[in-house]
Amino acid sequence: MPRTDRARVGAYGAAACASAYGAMKLAQALGANALADKDPLPPELRERLLARDPLFVASHWALAAAAVVGVVVALATLRPWRAALPRRLLLAVTWTLGILMIARSVGALGHGLVGDVLLLTDVRPPPVGHAALARDLAWWDLLLWSPFFLLWGACWTAAGWRLGRRRR
């Protein structure tokens, strides 16, 4: 693969991840389970999520819309029409999203690889009364959500890096 094509993979990857995430959130907003029961939330919030609390339904719609914006932003880093958007704004958005998603995947924002491993190895005890659920959700986070956010964050940072290296 030529070097110029490899540099574009980050933006296309960020767009693909945003599409997948947005599709899942749209499905949840429309009433599908679509991995909602695997979301690593505290038990009381998880119950509200699964009961389709209006706040959670609204948040799914908002996240689906944000994912559409994410696809547009990711593709804007590659397309000629990005000239209509301030370059510094695109750089700030791509790098910020990349860093936040990587931080989430590692565990700096509460969930992530480190916290999951600590819980699953009993270094950090699970919540009393919800130990089995906490372990189950930690496995899902360790094997699905954290790697997904790590990939998505790496794609955003690669897109930002490519955009930063390109001449105006």
What's the pLDDT at 33?
A: 87
What's the pLDDT at 7?
A: 66
Q: How many whole angstroms separate alpha carbon 111 and alpha carbon 122?
A: 16
Domains contained in the chain, number: 1
Read off the pTM.
Answer: 0.90
What's the pLDDT at 167?
A: 56
What's the pLDDT at 11?
A: 95
Whole domain around residue 71: which residue ranges?
A: 3-165
What's the pLDDT at 5?
A: 65
Q: What backbone phi and psi angles, to 5 degrees, belong to 86?
A: -60, 130
Asked if 42 contacts 52 with a C-beta cutoff of 8 angstroms, the reply is: no
Tokens 């955003």 belong to residue: 156
Number of H-type helices and E-type strands within the chain: 7, 0
User: From the centroid of its chain, how far is CA 20?
Assistant: 10
Q: Which residues of the chain have pLDDT under 70?
A: 1-7, 81-83, 166-168
